[in-house]
Amino acid sequence: MHRVNLSTVSEFVFVGLSDAPEIRLLLFVLFLLIYLATVAGNITLLVAISTDSHLHSPMYFFLSNLSLLDLLCPTITVPKMLGALLLEHKEISFSGCLFQHFSLIAVVGTEIFLLTVMAYDRYVAVCHPLRYPSIVSTKLCARLAVGTWAAGLLNSLLHTSLVFTLSFCGPKEIQQYYCDIPPVLALSCSSTRSTELVLLVVAGVLGSSACMVTVVSYIYILLEILSRNSPGIWHKAFSTCGSHLTVVCLFYGTTICTYVRPSFTYSPYRDRVVSMLYGILTPLLNPIIYSLRNKEVKCALRRVISRLRSAL
């Protein structure tokens, strides 16, 4: 039978991070500074990649997509959290929660697929360096980028339709600072077992497939390095893949802990901390990781900063 949303809840209420006024003000300042630093870092990286001809290559094209996702991810959740901390406005409409949920899952899913594509790009760069320009062509890059965004949107559409066609008739307090899958499912007054099973299977299949491609790519990279056994090969490989590998470990570890598990293991306090890692800190760290480990990016950033100084 077609399932219809029988919700009698018109809005949800976020529990928030703290009820103490002095702690709320401190958290507001802290997260505002982190958010502003994240926005500044990712916009600077986007400007550097788009304006510097030295960075017009497949690797940096995918990196610009990653920076855009890292810009969107905290923008979806942090402004609402800051408003709750400063103004105690913790309510969000049902449609607003649905939109926030859809947007966040789309961004997270797209980033998982994009990191997989970037792993394949690093595999070709290390294992087939002479054929790299012909294999990872401009047309292939465009198709892969469109494919990752489309897959992320379709995955989010499935998750959102499954969650928000459930019945919500109270309570309406979300044990989180944004509309995430586990705390929203916990509020449903209808059975969520079949929904959880479908969500777990879909997330498990897509997540494990993406993870498998990434792992296999790095296994081939490792085998290629061992087979060459030439001086300086480890340093060159680490400079090529180190930044991506660091980002992958950080992102996959936090998202798997949050989503790929049954709801009876849900812990509001632990999940709040974990979600901050991938939702707030990871978007801040990604541009830092790539700029610190990459000489070309650092040179491009210096050129951007010098142009800004000249303009000012």
Name the residue with higher pLDDT: 168 or 232: 168
Phi, psi of 189 (to 5 degrees): -95, 10
Closest CA to 199 of 177, 184, 211, 214: 184
Supply 80's token pair: 């609402």
Report, as an integer, the average pLDDT of 12-18. 77
Closest CA to 149 of 225, 71, 65: 65
pLDDT at 234: 64
Report, as an integer, the average pLDDT of 26-36. 91
- Tell me the range of 91-105, 197-211, 268-282 where mean pLDDT is highest: 91-105
CB 303 within 8 A of CB 309: no
CA dist 259 and 148 (Å) reads: 19
pLDDT at 262: 56
Would you place residue 2 in the very low, low, confident or very high pLDDT band (cuts 50, 70, 90)?
very low
Report, as an integer, the average pLDDT of 222-235. 73
pTM beyond 0.75, yes or no: yes
| Share of residues in the chain with pLDDT > 70 (%) | 83
CB 26 within 8 A of CB 85: no
Name the residue with higher pLDDT: 88 or 6: 88
Lookup result for tokens 């099973």: 197
CATH 1.10.10.10 fits 11-311, yes or no: no
Predicted confidence (pLDDT) at residue 1 exceeds the cutoff of 60: no
CA dist 243 and 232 (Å) reads: 18
pLDDT at 269: 64
Predicted confidence (pLDDT) at residue 263 exceeds the cutoff of 70: no
- Tell me the range of 40-44, 56-60, 141-145 where mean pLDDT is highest: 141-145
Q: What is the pLDDT of residues 180-221, one digit of tens each?
A: 888 888 888 888 888 888 888 888 888 888 888 988 988 888
List the single range of 68-72, 220-224, 227-231, 258-262 with lowest mean pLDDT.
258-262
Query: What are the extents of the domains in the chain?
Result: 11-311
Q: To the nearest whole number, what is the mean pLDDT of the chain? A: 82
pLDDT at 155: 92
CA dist 120 and 52 (Å) reads: 24
Cα dihedral 250→253→257→259 (10° resolution): 80
List the single range of 4-8, 130-134, 260-264 with lowest mean pLDDT.
4-8
Predicted confidence (pLDDT) at residue 177 exceeds the cutoff of 70: yes
pLDDT at 27: 86
pLDDT at 178: 87
pLDDT at 35: 94
CB 14 within 8 A of CB 177: yes
CA dist 45 and 41 (Å) reads: 6
Using CA atoms, how far residue 78 sits from 63, 83, 125, 173, 178, in Å, is: 23, 9, 36, 18, 8
Phi, psi of 13 (to 5 degrees): -125, 125
pLDDT at 150: 96
pLDDT at 126: 84
Q: What is the pLDDT of residues 135-171, one digit of tens each?
A: 999 999 999 999 999 999 999 999 999 998 888 887 7
Report, as an integer, the average pLDDT of 286-298. 76
Predicted confidence (pLDDT) at residue 300 exceeds the cutoff of 70: yes
Name the residue with higher pLDDT: 102 or 5: 102
Predicted confidence (pLDDT) at residue 4 exceeds the cutoff of 50: no
Report, as an integer, the average pLDDT of 250-277. 65
